[in-house]
Amino acid sequence: MHKTLVVAWREFRHTAMTKAFLIGAIIMPLLMMGLFIIVMPLMMEANTTPLTGTVAIIAPVDVIEEFQSRIESNENPNAQLIDQLPDVVTQDPLASAMLNQPIQNNTNIVLQPSTVENIETLKDDVRDGKVAALIVVPDTLLGKFASDSDEQLEVLIPSSFSPNHTDLLSSAVSKSVVDVRLRRLGHEPSAMHAMVKRPRVAATRLANDGGEKADNEAARRIIPMAFMMLLWIATFTSGNYLLTTTIEEKGNKVMEVLLSAVSPLQLLGGKILGQAGVSLIMLLMYGGAAMAGLVTFALLDLIPVSHLLYLVAYFTMAYFMIASIMAAVGSAVTELRDAQSLIGPIMIILIIPLALWPVLSEHPNGLVATITSFTPPLIPFVMILRITASTEAIAAWQILLSMAIGFIAVLGMIWACARVFRIGVLMQGKPPSFLQLLRWIKQG
């Protein structure tokens, strides 16, 4: 065991305590997250930079008044967007928190009512920057059958004008036109808007045990995918490291020196254990960042503790499956490009849970989900998806059976891969075919 630990420590140290790992696996993702955290508020800030200056407007008086009152009000700039978004987004706590931010008055403009005779002079003023913008609302837009007209209102702006401010003016003036139309027909706009607004739907799931639980559609779709991707990234990244370090040891011809000191099984065990540490770091880092995000938005209650415990169990299962496959493939080839032909078919199998994600998250207790839950090596990925996607608890017997089959499969895969490893590490030259690998398992 001592030798296995010595190998494990070297494997861990020379993977996780290197500049390449620190930069590629830790600093870059943190930098990207940091940039996101810094850039997003800056983008929001840019959104709320006040529009200042004089805006010339050629329009009927009632439109000008409506426009004036609208730009002075504290209307949520996302209100229209929220109306258009489906419930699945607007009812999500995270999306809601972002869309309904505190609203600030985005404008500090002086309206300059004008007449159509001055339009050319005003255009020059816009070009020269004396006037921030020119709005032209033709009378015909307010007629009884205005909706049939092709006529448009115009917003004339200088070439350097902010797109956000363009949207702001366009939105405010077009809404003002609609409100004036309603008023001219004798209706109170706010009452009409309230009337046509779609009511929200509150979906509540009634559990068999008599309990009720508010449904969170977005969380139900996104969180399972996040759990599965976390498992994927953590296990495949370290699996890839295992593949490359094994190939490196063969390529550098250091393998025979190692095998003069340790048995192939001790070497394999040490390498897998060492990379398990690397994988755990990835899991904790990315998982921790996700949890920190949930804590920030007070959404931690979306993830029960039991899900984290299942994550640990299925992570262990997934890691040992992937690691043993990668080590076996690494031992069988002498160059990374030769490994691709052997890894390819394995990857196709392991991509199945990703491809089935929509089906599995929609029907976490369906036939496909149940069958793939007991099919190695898909078990850990499918089960973590099912457990986190299902609104009802997955039957205990299914969880226990999946764990039993999964961990027996892990033992079997380690056994088979160890046999491949034992023969493969001393082989040089042409990479073996799949059939040869099977023969090695038989011989080993």
The contact set with another protein (CB under 8 A) reads 2-3, 6-7, 10, 14, 248-249, 252-263, 426
Q: Is 268 left (phi over 0), alpha (psi -120 to 50) or beta?
A: alpha
7 or 385: whose CB is closer to another protein?
A: 7
Residue 383 contacts residue 314 (beta carbons within 8 Å): yes
In angstroms, what is the minimal distance from the CB of 213 to another protein?
A: 54
Instruction: Please tell me whether residue 156 adopts helix, strand or coil conformation.
Output: strand
Let me know: does 169 contact 135? Beta carbons within 8 Å: yes
92 vs 249 by CB, closer to another protein: 249
The Cβ of residue 427 has, within 10 Å, a number of other Cβ atoms equal to 16
CB of 422 to another protein, least distance (A): 9
Whether 11 contacts 274, CB under 8 Å: yes
Could you tell me the smallest distance in angstroms from the CB atom of residue 245 to another protein?
9
For the packed helices 305-332 and 379-389, what is the interaxial angle rounded to 10 degrees? 160
Q: Who's near 369: CB < 8 A, 6+ residues apart?
A: 359, 360, 363, 382, 386
Q: How far is the CB of 272 from another protein (least distance, A)?
A: 17
Closer residue to another protein (CB): 112 or 266: 266
Please state, as a whole number, how many other Cβ atoms lie within 10 Å of the Cβ of residue 140.
Answer: 11
Nearer to another protein, 265 or 354 (CB): 265
Kindly tell me which of 160 and 252 has the beta carbon lying closer to another protein.
252
**Least distance CB 335 / another protein (angstroms):** 15
Q: Are 431 and 342 in contact (CB under 8 A)?
A: yes
Give, as one character, the DSSP assignment of residue 27. I
Q: CB-wise, 264 or 364, nearer to another protein?
A: 264
- For residue 306, give both structure tokens: 């039991």
Distance of closest approach, residue 439 Cβ to another protein, in angstroms:
11
* 204-206 vs 212-214, strand pairing mode: antiparallel
Give the nearest distance from C-beta 1 to another protein in angstroms: 12
Q: Considering Cα of 234, then 235, then 238, then 240, what sign does the dihedral take?
A: negative
83-92: Cβ within 8 A, 24+ apart: 83/197, 83/198, 87/200, 87/201, 87/217, 88/217, 88/218, 88/221, 89/218, 90/200, 91/200, 91/216, 91/217, 91/218, 92/216, 92/217, 92/218, 92/219
- Residue (147 or 428) nearer to another protein, CB: 428
Task: Find the shortest distance in angstroms from Cβ 431 to another protein.
Answer: 17
Q: Name the helix (H) or strand (E) containing 109.
A: strand 107-113
Beta bridge partners of 112: 56
Kindly state the smallest distance separating residue 279's Cβ from another protein, in Å.
Answer: 21
CB of 277 to another protein, least distance (A): 17
- Closer of 18 and 100 to another protein (Cβ): 18
Q: Which is nearer to another protein, 79 or 254 (CB)?
A: 254
Nearer to another protein, 122 or 267 (CB): 267
